[in-house]
Structure 1
Amino acid sequence: MSDPARTTPATAVRPPALRPGDTVMLVSPSGPTRPERVARGVELLTGWGLRPVLAPNAYARQGYLAGADELRAADLNAAFADPEVRGVICTRGGYGAQRIVDAIDMAAVRRDPKVVAGFSDITALQFALWRGARLAGVHGPGAAWLDERTPLRSAESLHAALMTTEPVAVSAVAEEETFAVRVPGRATGPLLGGNLCLVVASLGTPDMPDLTGAILLVEDVQEPPYKVDRMLTQLRRAGALDGLAGVAVGQFTDCADGWSVGVADVLSERLGDLGVPVLGGLPIGHGPGQLTVPVGTEATLDTETGTLTVTPAVR
């Protein structure tokens, strides 16, 4: 039997776009959250005509986890199995998704593909769904992130990724700390990745995708330059970047405070000699004004125009 993670990227499964009236389940696969953090997200989703429903354990708490592993996994599997639920929106990241991905009912995911949105620790969930069901996903703010950190443009970006079938285009922004990270060129391939910590944490697991011919998306938050260096070095030494088509560099938020070396310097040095196009300055990640992008679908990275254009995750 072939390894699903190494099958042709063009076979990505794109679930139906959300439509007004659709039910979306708000789940917490990782860290805990509170009702007041989710309130604006519920308001926004309702304003789009959607019906947000909280999973039974969405507000559960067990230390740094949103409840016990079996409860978080049960919420996910219930959402995937329920024909009335048309989308799954994670409340937040944090930590914990890797603890439950092996319990996901991939047969249910394949039987009735649904759009799954989230970022940060949810990168682990997106990788697992890519491996087990070739499911394209949405890398964007969770329901608990739709607050003062998410201005109108960010909310509109998530809306477009969930509810329209237009390609998603993101332009590099000069004000982003990673804007100077650039290796000229143009690349095409499936966009895979997300949070750098979770990409590295996936090494050696069944969920680490084969990045041959892919555009790798990386972003992170509160990781000092030496840790960013260490993670990129580990990816290089593991051979994970061999055959890469390009690198899309998102926001590296609060990563260089008090350090004499900037995170952009580290990214340029560790990515600059891979022999592939690299585009930094993309407002994708944990920073203000973050934009949403599909993951798992075909993308084009063009350093001349400073754009990353991605095929929609939904159809």
Structure 2
Amino acid sequence: MILPPFLKPHDTVGLISTSSFTHESYIQEVVKILESWKLKPVLGKTIGARHGSMAGSDTLRLKDLQGMLNNDDIKAIFQATGGYGIVRIIDQLDFSHFKYKPKWVVGYSDTTFLHNHLQGRLSTGSIHGTMAADLEAGYHATSWESLRKALFGEDLHYTVKPHPLNRLGTSDGILVGGTVSLLCNSKGTMSEVNSNGKILFLEEVGEKHFRLDSYLISLKHAGKFDYVRGLIVGELIDMEDDDPPFGKTPEEIILDAVKEYDFPVSFGFKAGHGQVNKALILGALVHLKVDAQGTTFSFET
């Protein structure tokens, strides 16, 4: 797996939205944050654009992302928001230039499709991290500082409190993953997650319990857990129980889906759609340890 070059002060970076439209007030806040890191942000044509719920037409969003992938002056591409839209354009993207001159792509949620494509098809790392839209809930230093560390190649490691459903063990593996529903929806596409021999990260937002179970069972039937080396579970936000109740919490649903496997499982990591979204370097080698004292994991870059 190849990791793009880490950022340096005075690098130029791009800010775009290939999914839903973005409120411009948050963009100006992100510009200030990036400038405080001594970076030079450039806004794409999708910033401020709107076509229905998306940040411009498919053509505009495709052209905006393609242009930044091909522009050697742009050293990282920041997604402004998630929502929906990448799946409509991803198979039309040309990665032939990017393949030989990779750069960091940052985002989460709908960006899961793009992350999986980069890791599975191009063996290239990317960053699951906070976005402009998250500023609607306020600035959370932990999220942005962890993203800065990941982008600039500083030491990045995490400690997570013990969770009663954790499954103990140690493992090493390349980190992949993202939003459960999108991992499920990507099955059979060019952007399907390759979890074989990997440590898998999962998070989700706004799903009913039975639907979370259906996504996980579908991934299980597709063999996505068969050769996993470890599982890190992030935030499970705004999950709704069913009527009648499904009978399991979201955490219990996940643990039940992987009950016959023996890889370590860690719950409670603050990444995903919650207020705190700590950065993860997808495509990097992770050293994972889950014991009675909690979970620790670090990235080898």
Normalized against structure 2, the TM-score is what?
Answer: 0.93
CA distance in 2, matches of 1:16, 1:32: 29
**Paired position in structure 1 for 2:224:** 240
Instruction: Determine whether 1:172 maps to 2:151.
Output: no
Shift of 1:296: 1.0
**Paired position in structure 1 for 2:288:** 301
- Range with greater deviation from structure 2 (214-223 or 100-109): 100-109
RMSD: 1.7
One-letter amino acid matched to 1:63: G
The residue correspondences of 1:206-285 to structure 2 (distance < 5 A) are: 206-256=190-240, 261-285=248-272
Shift of 1:67: 1.2
One-letter amino acid matched to 1:111: Y
Shift of 1:148: 3.6
From 117, 128, 131, give the equivalent of 1:142: 131
CA distance in 2, matches of 1:298, 1:180: 26
**Paired position in structure 2 for 1:128:** 117
Cα contact 2:24–2:47 (8 A) shared by 1: no
Q: Deviations over 1:226-279 (max 9, x none)?
A: 111111110111112111111110110111468664212212222233221111
CA distance in 1, matches of 2:261, 2:139: 34
The residue correspondences of 1:24-103 to structure 2 (distance < 5 A) are: 24-103=13-92
**Partner of 1:30: helix, strand, or coil?**
coil
CA distance in 2, matches of 1:29, 1:301: 32
CA distance in 1, matches of 2:11, 2:122: 22
One-letter amino acid matched to 1:288: Q
CA distance in 1, matches of 2:191, 2:142: 32
Shift of 1:119: 0.4
**Paired position in structure 1 for 2:300:** 311
**Partner of 1:287: helix, strand, or coil?**
coil
CA distance in 2, matches of 1:241, 1:257: 25
**Paired position in structure 1 for 2:176:** 192
Q: Note the residue ranges of structure 2 that are not aligned, 5 or more in a row.
A: none
Q: Deviations over 1:284-313 (max 9, x none)?
A: 11112221010011112211141222234x
Q: Deviations over 1:47-76 (max 9, x none)?
A: 111111110122211112211111111111
Cα contact 1:55–1:75 (8 A) shared by 2: yes
Q: Note the residue ranges of structure 1 that are not aligned, 5 or more in a row.
A: 1-11
Change (3 A) 1:64 1:205: same
Q: Deviations over 1:173-213 (max 9, x none)?
A: 46xxxx43311111111101111111111111122133111
**Paired position in structure 1 for 2:167:** 183
Cα contact 1:22–1:51 (8 A) shared by 2: yes
Shift of 1:147: 4.8
Cα contact 2:8–2:152 (8 A) shared by 1: yes
Change (3 A) 1:44 1:188: same
Normalized against structure 1, the TM-score is what?
Answer: 0.89
Shift of 1:115: 0.7
**Paired position in structure 2 for 1:286:** 273
**Paired position in structure 2 for 1:109:** 98
Cα contact 1:41–1:144 (8 A) shared by 2: no
Q: Deviations over 1:60-119 (max 9, x none)?
A: 111122111111111111111112111100001101111111122211211321111000
Shift of 1:280: 0.8
**Paired position in structure 2 for 1:6:** none
One-letter amino acid matched to 2:177: G
Change (3 A) 1:173 1:150: farther
Change (3 A) 1:299 1:153: same
Shift of 1:149: 4.2
Cα contact 2:18–2:46 (8 A) shared by 1: no
